[in-house]
Chains A and B, each alone.
Chain A
């Protein structure tokens, strides 16, 4: 597998414009996370999905932010309208729970990250 794929790698846009970030998770993973990296808060969880359903979006900073996962292999994070303070690196990550050979509770795997999208809003 190629890993988690994010596009674009870099995005420069003018304040007020709409920005769409894209993510393709690892095939077979049923959890998808969107993070934002800032100096003050480190890796900040924005939203996460399980089986394409949003589970917790409490980290989404404002209504200007929205995320969708129309199918198991694609997710978008949209900012409309964008503002200079949205400038950051946005990461997508995916993970799953693996069945254990002996049965019982499925073991959680670590989250695998994409390379990130560096967003600059001028």
Chain B
């Protein structure tokens, strides 16, 4: 049973525009959420995280929004750059410290 879901397998965006990647979760006990970026033939690398006590966290061009009532989080990238083209994984964790990942969204930023 997939506790973290990314319903969009792929997304294409023009360079300079905003990329919005979405993620939904089912477990209300999750209190820590992360986004990872993965290039081909490499392991996922941490991008940004947010604790459940916040509803927004920003780091440069990357902003993560958390809507606890809707059990939804999103990653905004603005402006999008060709180097952002990768697979993005959403992950969530509860007190047990194991990380549950979604199936990923492949982002293509078109120059």
Contacts and interface: CB of A to CB of B under 8 A. Distances in A.
Interface residues of B, number: 24
Interface residues of A, number: 27
A18 interface: no
Nearest to B95: A108
Contacts of B44: 43, 91, 113
A2 B25 CA distance: 33
A100 to B, nearest CB: 13
B89 A114 contact: no
Contacts of B102: 42-43
Contact of B97 (A39, A108, A112): A108
- Top 4 nearest A-B pairs by Cβ distance? A42-B103, A113-B43, A43-B101, A110-B46
11 contacts: A33-B98, A42-B102, A43-B102, A43-B104, A50-B97, A108-B32, A108-B97, A112-B46, A113-B44, A113-B45, A115-B41
